[in-house]
Amino acid sequence: NAGVTQTPKFQVLKTGQSMTLQCAQDMNHNSMYWYRQDPGMGLRLIYYSASEGTTDKGEVPNGYNVSRLNKREFSLRLESAAPSQTSVYFCASSERGDNQPQHFGDGTRLSIL
């Protein structure tokens, strides 16, 4: 009954360090998403993967890369972390197709000093 699992839950990085945020879902969903949530800004889409083997940029992709490792896993990488990337990162998944609800993990809280 795990749903969407994100690791780690918390992380502190120094400016310039790299990091990969992991996300896995056990609902056999085709589509997966990465969002960031900042105070006053709401949830903003970073990247998404409509199906295994495809990835597309969202609203705020700069400074990030993603990998859809297989149907279950979608990772987000920060190559050179910047303080502006301090945020809460959420991964979500959904069935293929329009109007499907998205299922979210509980987030990774990332601080970059």
Partner 1 sequence: SQKIEQNSEALNIQEGKTATLTCNYTNYSPAYLQWYRQDPGRGPVFLLLIRENEKEKRKERLKVTFDTTLKQSLFHITASQPADSATYLCALPSNQAGTALIFGKGTTLSVSS
Note the residues at the interface with partner 1 (CB under 8 A): 4, 31, 33, 35, 40-45, 48, 50, 56, 58-59, 90, 92, 94, 96-107
CB of 15 to partner 1, least distance (A): 26
CB of 106 to partner 1, least distance (A): 5
Q: Quick one: 71 or 103, whose CB is closer to partner 1? A: 103
Question: What percentage of the chain's residues is helix, strand, coil (to nearest 5)?
Answer: 5, 50, 45
CA distance 29 to 32: 8
CB of 54 to partner 1, least distance (A): 10
Question: Smallest Cα–Cα separation from 73: which of 29, 37, 109?
Answer: 29
Question: Smallest Cα–Cα separation from 96: which of 52, 42, 58, 57?
Answer: 52
Q: Quick one: 15 or 111, whose CB is closer to partner 1? A: 111
